[in-house]
Structure 1
Amino acid sequence: DITPRNCMPSLHTAWATAIFIHSRNSSRFLRYAGTFWLLATLGATLGFGYHYGADIVAGVVFAVTIEAGLRTIDHDWDRSGIRFVAYGTAIFTAMLLSYRFLSVEMADYAWAFGPLLILAMVSVVYGYMRLTKRWEPKTVPVRKSEPESETEPQPQPQPELI
C-alpha cells in the first residue's frame, strides 16, 4: 500500500560512479573494491526497487558531468572541458525533460527509447574518457643513441627531485 519515494537521478548511483572513477588510478585492491561497490550499488538499487533503470542512467550522466566540471576547473577552465560539461548538461536535461513529458511515449516505444537512453549515457562516458585521457601527464621515452666509439660512455639516467 505504501510506495517508497523515488529519487531522480539516483544519487546512490552517482556516488558509486564517483567512487569507481576515483579508484581507477589506485592499487589493484581499490580498483576491485570500487568496481564491486558500483556493481553492488546498481544491483541493490534495482533489486530492492529503490530506483528504476532510468534513474540509474541519469545518475551516471549526472556524476560524470559533475566530475568533468570539477576537473575542468583544475585544468584552468580548459575549453574542451567546458564543451563537454555543456554536452553532459544538455544530455542530462534532455533525459529529465523526456522522463517528465514523454514518459507515456517512452513506455509505449520502450525498444526505441531504451537503447537511445543507453546510447546517450555511453556517449557521455566515452566523452569523459577521451577528455580525461588528454589531461593525463604524458611520459617522453628516453632516446637511446649509439655511442660513436667504443670508449664513449653511455649516458646514465639522472636522478630527479621529487
Structure 2
Amino acid sequence: MTFAAAVAVIAIVLCGLVLSSHETRRRAGLYDAAALGYVRTFMTDFTSPDPFHANDYADRILARATGAFAEQYRQNEDEIVVGIARSEPTTGTVLEAGVSRRNDDGSVDVLVITKFTSTSPDGMLRAERTNRWVVTTKQEEDRWMISSLTPMI
C-alpha cells in the first residue's frame, strides 16, 4: 500500500467518524427539541385550568400522564376537580424551558418557568405567580407523556 492510499483510507475513516458524531448530536438535538415543545404545550395547558370545564381539564391532563405522575393524579383526581371548579379562571404561560438532563431510560428532565395569571370575578384584582418546575417527559411509542411533575421551592 502506498503512502497516498494509506492517507486516503485514514481520511475516509475520520470523515466517517465525524459524520457519525455529527448525526448523533443532530438526533439528540431533535429529540430535545421535541421534548421541549411537548413540555411547553403541556405546561401551558396544565397551568391554565378552567373552572367551567374542570372534568375536561382533568381528563386532558390524565391522558398525557404516565408512571408515578399518572398514579398520583388518579389518586387525587376528585380533589383536583373540586379545587379547580372552585377557583377562578387562570391563564398559564411558559416563560422559559430548557433541557436539564437526559436520563438513562430515555426520558428527559426539563426545567420550566411558568407564570399563572388570574383575575377576580369583578375584574378589580389581578394575581400573578411565577413557579419553577422539573418536568420529566418520555416518548412512549409515538407519543410524549409526562412521568413526573415536581414544583421547585
| TM-score, normalised with respect to structure 1 | 0.30
Larger strand share, 1 or 2: 2
Larger helix share, 1 or 2: 1
| TM-score, normalised with respect to structure 2 | 0.31
